[in-house]
């Protein structure tokens, strides 16, 4: 059973990816669909009764996903390795520009304890840790810093911040 770190809780993941659990076809399971698959049949996916999520690869355009956000409960952003930082921009755009309030999940081999603080500051509220990562260590890493220079998402508690946005945040 896959677990995820969601808002500091280590929870069994109720979401499924297409092709997972062949013995238990995800007819009514909450499903995370790769964006390429979604684009192939957006009408079909939108008509599905269960909750839906989309998985966004680093090279995909977050703008193209914007129109679909009202029917999505979750966006999973891929980090194939720790060095590929495109997903950080995807997250901030989803939260700040497109006002996405559903679950924003970081997935992939790049989601390690040494990345989680920055990920959370960009608005990720769920972390699907890379294989072998210790959730307790990731939790500690989320509290590694309690000060920051830049404005950031509220997923991390920051007691002092230096620069503020035009909206005062």
Partner 1 sequence: MYRYDELDQALVDQRVAEFRDQTRRHLAGELSEEQFRPLRLRNGLYIQRHAPMLRIAIPYGLLSSTQLRKLADVARRYDRGYGHFTTRQNLQLNWPQLADVPQILAELATVQMHAMQTSGNCVRNVTADHLAGIAPDEVDDPRPYCEIIRQWATLHPEFTYLPRKFKIAVTGSPEDRAASEVHDIGLHLQRDAHGQIGFTVLVGGGLGRAPVIGVCIREFLPLPHLLSYLEAILRVYNRHGRRDNLNKARIKVLVKSLGAERFREQVEAEWQAARDYAPLLAPAEIARVRACFAPPPYAALPDSDVTTGRGPQFLAWHRYNTRAHRVPGYRAVFVSLKAHGAVPGDMSAAQMEAVAALAERVSFGLVRTTHTQNLLLADVPQHELYGVWRELTQLGLAMPNIGTLTDMIACPGLDFCSLANASTISVARDIQQRFNDLDYLYDLGEIEIKMSGCMNACGHHHVGHIGVLGVDKHGEEWYQISLGGSATGFTALGEVIGPSVPRAEVAGTIERIVETYRGLRLDGERFIDTLRRLGLAPFTERAYATHPAAA
Residues forming contacts to partner 1 in the complex (CB under 8 A) are 58, 82-86, 88-89, 92, 96-97, 112, 114, 118, 121-122, 141, 144-153, 160, 162-167, 169
Considering the complex, state which of residue 71 and residue 109 has its C-beta at the smaller distance from partner 1.
109
Least CB distance from residue 79 to partner 1, whole Å?
9
Considering the complex, state which of residue 13 and residue 84 has its C-beta at the smaller distance from partner 1.
84
Considering the complex, state which of residue 7 and residue 144 has its C-beta at the smaller distance from partner 1.
144
Taken in order 106, 109, 112, 114, the sign of the CA dihedral is negative
Least CB distance from residue 56 to partner 1, whole Å?
12
Distances in Å between the alpha carbon of 165 and those of 68, 70, 131, 148, 168?
Answer: 27, 26, 36, 13, 5
Gap between the Cα atoms of 138 and 149, Å rounded: 22
């Amino acid at each position: 059973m896959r677990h995820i770190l969601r808002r500091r809780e280590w929870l069994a993941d109720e979401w499924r990816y297409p092709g997972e659990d062949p013995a238990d076809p995800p007819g009514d399971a909450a499903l995370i669909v790769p964006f390429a698959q979604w684009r192939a049949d957006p009408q079909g996916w939108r008509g599905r009764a269960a909750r839906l999520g989309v998985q966004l690869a680093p090279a995909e355009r977050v703008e193209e996903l914007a129109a679909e956000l009202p029917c999505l409960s979750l966006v999973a952003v891929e980090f194939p390795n720790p060095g590929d930082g495109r997903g950080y921009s995807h997250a901030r755009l989803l939260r700040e520009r497109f006002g996405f309030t559903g679950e924003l999940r970081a997935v992939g081999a790049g989601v390690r304890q040494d990345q989680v603080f920055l990920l959370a500051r960009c608005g990720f509220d769920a972390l699907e840790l890379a294989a072998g990562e210790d959730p307790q260590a990731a939790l500690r890493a989320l509290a590694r810093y309690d000060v920051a220079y830049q404005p950031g998402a509220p997923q991390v508690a920051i007691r002092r911040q230096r620069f503020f946005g035009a909206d005062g945040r």
